[in-house]
Amino acid sequence: MKRLGFGTLLLLMVGVACAAQGVESLSPTDDTYIDQYVPTGVNGARTNIAVRNQYGGSAIWELDGLFRFDLSGIPRGAILTTATLHVYYYAYRDSSPVGRNLTCHRITGTWSEAAVTWNTRPPYDSTATSGALVPSSYTWMTWDVTADVRAFVDRTLPNHGWQIMDLKKWGTANIPLMYFYSREYSTNQPHLDLTLPTHLGASGSTSPGGTLAFQLTAANDPGQPYQVGSALGAGPIPIDTREIGLGLDALLQVSLSGMLPGVFVNYAGRIDAQGTARASLAIPPSPGLVGIRIYTAFVTLAAAAPSGVGSVSNTFSFAIAK
């Protein structure tokens, strides 16, 4: 099946061609820890994540933290500068863990926080993606997972997340036990920060009658024209070897057409010299829209680029709220 470029879609649906780095911060869909000493325990609803080395007086004490994030809003072929996993270290027990190297390993099998136990733990890559030293004070710890996220986004590796481990043998009593906040805690929740040269962010009201303001960043395309689209589905639509996370539906057609400039505001324009632009979506004041999910993304346009598309943004989605 022939793949349609975004520029081609514009011609087909509208009849005319449209002549700083952003940070996407993602919350985990699943996080938990697995406990060798309690091998059937399910810990996904807990507000903490525990990590500990296996070797005390006996080798039965291992605790590992598991984290997974939904990357479906990042299009295949997206340029990714960095990807960093952030987890907040807030307490320890038994012995000081300062300076211990906690390693981050790519998980290679399926799991969910609602079901995984030590006995059902997924396999993981024994070669660490990265490591981080436990600090002397309670604060955020970070792991560089850029290479893994690039592979997840490009679909060359499946995305099952990561496992945080303390692999350095302790070998005696009072093994350092480290605690981190989970997504179930009220503050300082784990997150995955992605630095993207082409990024769509949003702020404002998602209720009927409200306005959602979009911040477009296209660090590599200053001065280039852009086109924003909104759709009722996540697609994706193929663009040469890339994708954009929008469905090919009636809302996308209307948002690209320019027929409702009071609703789809500045959906076409030009990236400024600083690599940014602004657009907005004025949500009609109809209570019947509540619950509808809308997906929005943008591209920059370049005649010499494949399919006429320079860069493709992430997809921002939201459900219209009451």
Note the pLDDT tens digit of each residue in 210-260. 999 999 999 999 999 999 999 999 989 999 989 999 999 999 999 999 999
Rounded Cα distance between 189 and 49, Å, is: 11
Of the given ranges (49-58, 99-108, 205-214), which has the lowest mean pLDDT?
49-58
Of the given ranges (18-32, 57-71, 124-138, 233-247), which has the lowest mean pLDDT?
18-32
Rounded Cα distance between 279 and 216, Å, is: 8
Q: What are phi and psi of 305, to 5 degrees?
A: -85, 160
Q: Give CA angle at 34 (33, 38), nearest 5°.
A: 130
On the CB side of 227, how many CA atoms lie within 13 Å of its CA? 26
| Tokens encoding 319 | 């459900």
For residue 6, is pLDDT > 90? no
Q: What are phi and psi of 252, to 5 degrees?
A: -60, -45
Amino acid letter, 241: T
For residue 14, is pLDDT > 50? no
| Residue 174: DSSP 8-state | S
C-alpha 41 chain-centroid distance: 28
Query: Domain 24-195 adopts which CATH fold?
Result: Jelly Rolls (2.60.120)
Q: Under CATH, which number does the domain 6-21+198-319 receive?
A: 2.60.40.10
The label of the residue with tokens 């005319």 reads 16
* Beta pairing, strands 268-270 & 225-231: antiparallel
Rounded Cα distance between 193 and 197, Å, is: 13
CB 214 within 8 A of CB 201: yes
* Nearest residue to 314 via CA among 137, 187, 192, 168: 192
Judged by DSSP in three states, 308 sits in helix
Interval 167-194 mean pLDDT: 96
For residue 3, is pLDDT > 70? no
pTM of the model: 0.85
| Tokens encoding 21 | 């780095």
* Nearest residue to 115 via CA among 21, 205, 208, 44: 44
CB 271 within 8 A of CB 36: no
Whether 6-21+198-319 and 24-195 share one fold: the answer is no
Q: For helices 6-13 and 250-257, what crossing angle results, to 10°? A: 80
Q: What are phi and psi of 289, to 5 degrees?
A: -85, -15
Q: What are phi and psi of 243, to 5 degrees?
A: -145, 155
Query: Domain map of the chain by residue range?
Result: 6-21+198-319, 24-195
Q: What are phi and psi of 12, to 5 degrees?
A: -70, -40
* Nearest residue to 212 via CA among 228, 226, 197, 201: 201
